[in-house]
Amino acid sequence: MCYGILLGADLHADFRQIPASARVDPSSLPFHRHPTGSETAAVAVTLFHLGSVDSYRQVWADDAWDGDHGRRCRKAEQRVELPILSALIEHEDTGEKWLWDLGMCNDFDVLPTAFSNGSVKAITPRLSDRGQLKNVLLDLFNVNSIEEVGLTGIFLSHAHVDHYGNLLDFPNAVPVFVGSGTLGWIGGGEDAAKRGEAGHLYFPSSFLKDRVFIEMHDVESKADDVVKARVRQTKVGPFDRAWDWFGDGSVVIASAEGHCHGHIVLLARTSPGPRPSYVLLSGDAAHQQALYHPLPPPLELDGELLSGPGDVTSSYSTTYGAEHDQRATPGFFDSQSSEAITDRLVPDGEATCMQEFPDKAMRTIAALSRMEACADVMVILAHEIEFAESVGLREGSRISVNGWREKGYKEGKIETGKRAREFLESL
């Protein structure tokens, strides 16, 4: 499907868009229930705020459903400062410690030159030493070196600068697990790309030296014996390609394509027992809550459960109607512009979308909506400002998301998102 569709020339704005009609009905997705597994199998999930990125809303979301095109353009121009979130996953039965994403490195001597030469103008990072993950972990564990933390491994939701952090801060012996297709995409990194070889200009070649990277589909052949013996391929919720990481249902890594090559999400069981609860760490499957909220009818908040036996075909009393769907779509923007472009067409060569593969992204975003409808699941995006604001997270701070049901975290972030949308509608 081609998304290079333009609004009519007689309208206030004339820019590229992913049309509202491209959104996918979440209730139509196949849905695989997640067995409760071991009654005691769970993980502790600590979320870190590692800085922020400042931009305008057009970079992240576009209310393509809004028939008031003047208002739609005013929404696009709004400044947005999004947090950079990562997580520590601690498996209670084995004591293993895994990192989910590493934030963004604030040492531009480490990063590719594209990030230090000012060529990217649409997004401005806001970073300090207190938000660097190494420093956050040293403080959390009250140790003097990162080796003393005892990390087992690292998951990268994907290989972008605000997620791969500074891998040089972590021991080479700590393996890095990535989604399928990632290694072919990054190749030999920046240095290789500059030589005209297979490589990604935006990935540091230094990160690849003497470090083990393993794609998810290679886990059974390339991971160490402990991991190989327990990982099981599975399906979970609307995700058809997934891996039960500990073999007990406490952590599931799932392929969630659309944003870029190899994008993955992580489902963590934060409360065990007969009434379990989960968080879905969603990386950049979406960049703002407005892409998967408000839940479109017939979905209802807390209308179904992820946990339970077998697969389900949910029966809703009504059917999906796009006219009632107020979820945003990913926006198109000019990466060379520090302001939203709403008064002219951005040439094809300069128009950028945060979702590299929009067809796949729309299905993945629908999957987030479907998971959020589950009473036992809370979705958290890597840049979900609504979550960070509702719980008071600031750069360098951390929060445990275990017990999120009792603490009201899901309701809090949804209410914060609702207020943000009401403000946009008032423009």
Supply the pLDDT for residue 38: 67
17 in any annotated domain: no
Q: What is the pLDDT of residue 17?
A: 85
Domain assignment of residue 16, yes or no: no
Q: What is the pLDDT of residue 121?
A: 85
347 within a domain of the structure (yes/no): no
Number of separate domains in the chain? 1
Would residue 150 count as lying in a domain? yes
**Residue 171, domain CATH:** 3.60.15.10
- Name the amino acid, one letter, at 25: D
Q: How far is CA 248 from the centre of its chain?
A: 24
**Do 336 and 121 form a contact (C-beta atoms < 8 A)?**
yes
Can you give the pLDDT at residue 2? Answer: 30
At residue 274, the pLDDT reads 85
Is 348 inside a domain boundary?
A: no
pLDDT value at residue 346? 75
Q: Which residues pair with 388 in a beta bridge?
A: none
Residue 8: per-residue pLDDT: 30
- What parts of the chain have a pLDDT lower than 70? 1-15, 36-39, 119, 310-315, 317
Render pLDDT for 286-323 as a digit per residue (tens, 0 to 9).
999 999 999 999 999 999 999 987 666 556 767 899 99
Residue 89 domain flag: yes
Distance (Å, whole) CA 256 – CA 157: 9
Residue 339 lies in a domain: no
Q: Would you say 127 and 205 are in contact if contact means Cβ atoms under 8 Å apart?
A: no
Task: Look up tokens 């990277």; give the residue.
Answer: 213
Cα separation, 223 vs 214, in Å, equals 7
Q: What is the pLDDT of residues 3-49, one digit of tens each?
A: 333 333 333 344 578 999 999 999 999 999 997 666 679 999 999 99
| Structural domain includes residue 82 | yes
Convert the pLDDT of each residue in 391-416 to its tens digit. 999 999 999 999 999 999 999 999 99
Domain of residue 32 covers: 24-51+64-316+323-328+357-425
pLDDT at 4: 36
Q: How much is the pLDDT for 268?
A: 98
Whole-angstrom distance, CA of residue 357 vs CA of residue 81: 24
